[in-house]
Amino acid sequence: MPGTLTFEGETLPVGIRYKGSVGAWVGCLSGEGFLSTEGEKECTKLSTKIKINWEDSDDTFYEVKKLQFHSQNLDPTKMHERLGYWLFREMGVPAPRSVHARLIINGQFNGIYALTEQIDGRFTRENFDDGTGNLYKEIWPITNSGVPMPAEPLQNALKTNEDEDPTFDIIQQFAQAVVDADGTTRQDVLRQWMNVDQALAYMVVDRAIANDDGVLHFYCGGSEEIEFGGGCNSHNFYWYEDPTEEMMHLIPWDLDNAFDNITGPANPVTPIKDKWGEKTNDCKPFAYGGWGLTQLSAACDPIIGTLATLEQEYQELREAFLAVHSLRKRLKVFQHMGWADKRRRTGSR
């Protein structure tokens, strides 16, 4: 719907809508069931997307076309996104920036949100030497049946170059090379097509913050209340293919459920049973978690499974991550900002 955005005295016409899928509405609507997507809004705030280039205008806001305000309703700390993405970036993984923002709607303070950077063509141009390549959201290069992903689902997942008659040669050739390799050559294939240190750093941070609703959680099927689609699929990630280097890069996304399961399976939906590199039930789906949803061990996938065989490199990166001086320094910065006191004074939830 149409609206206006005002910041430091400047006002722009924008488009505004709520954003997110089932998880963004949990416990926030009056419909029956915990995961209902029907009924009236009951939460004080919901995640919101603001489109600056509303109605195909050329307007930007500090050179960005979209702003995302994440409600953080499921995050009592209001720190999952800001801290999680910062940790990824500290380890050399391309990840969006996230800060806190006070949002005022129609003159009334609406709460503290996570203002999280949109992953789009501007993001790829800023984070990669050649940022003109294809960006894909939540699609894996290899299907459950072990063949390269066909063109149609890749087209549907494409977030850049949609109108440029894109080809999918790089991601499909990468997938084919992985599928064709055997246990003795697959590591070399990954080194050819991926920045392996960067990919392993991604996994180190992912496991350290228990990002169990991310790339390593292969949800299978669903239940009466949750539907994940056919086969076993992970989500909350992007792939970027660098057209010059012909390299594939993983980008993390949607960290609202990260940190939940650090001390145990507190979240009934998201917990991953396996530790890094483990396989359960002979690579067949199995039930786990408070709601008994089925999942597949991530290490059964040939890409993730091969990364898990690089044990020494993974451990070296893990030790670098656990050199906690930089983390402590950042936490002290947040403390000096008086973040907790600000939350109490504003009554944010």
Q: What's the whole-number mean pLDDT along residues 180-192?
A: 96
For residue 248, the cross-strand partners are 194, 241
The model's pLDDT over 42-55, given as tens digits with 9 standing for 90+, comes to 788 889 999 998 88
The model's pLDDT over 117-154, given as tens digits with 9 standing for 90+, comes to 999 999 999 999 999 999 999 999 999 999 999 999 99
Q: What mean pLDDT is reported for the chain?
A: 89
Give the Cα separation of 102 and 281 in Å (integer). Answer: 47
Residue 224: how many CB atoms within 10 A of its CB? 7
pLDDT reading at 155 higher than 60: yes
* Residue 11 CB partners (closer than 8 Å, separation 6+): 4, 5
Give 138 or 349, the one with higher predicted confidence.
138
The model's pLDDT over 266-316, given as tens digits with 9 standing for 90+, comes to 999 999 999 999 999 999 999 999 999 999 999 999 999 999 999 999 999
Q: What pLDDT score was predicted for residue 84?
A: 96
* Residue 41 CB partners (closer than 8 Å, separation 6+): 28, 29
pLDDT reading at 59 higher than 70: yes
Confidence of residue 22 (pLDDT cuts 50, 70, 90): low
Q: What's the whole-number mean pLDDT along residues 244-260?
A: 97
Confidence of residue 225 (pLDDT cuts 50, 70, 90): very low
pLDDT reading at 346 higher than 70: no
Q: What pLDDT score was predicted for residue 94?
A: 99
The answer to whether 228 and 35 are in contact (CB under 8 A) is: no
Q: What's the whole-number mean pLDDT along residues 80-109?
A: 96
Confidence of residue 57 (pLDDT cuts 50, 70, 90): confident
Q: What pLDDT score was predicted for residue 221?
A: 78
pLDDT reading at 24 higher than 70: no
Q: Is 331 left (phi over 0), alpha (psi -120 to 50) or beta?
A: alpha
pLDDT reading at 228 higher than 90: no
The answer to whether 113 and 71 are in contact (CB under 8 A) is: yes
Angle at 52 between CA 48 and CA 54, to 5 degrees: 100
Q: What's phi and psi for 13, nearest 5 deg?
A: -75, 135
For residue 136, the cross-strand partners are 158, 239
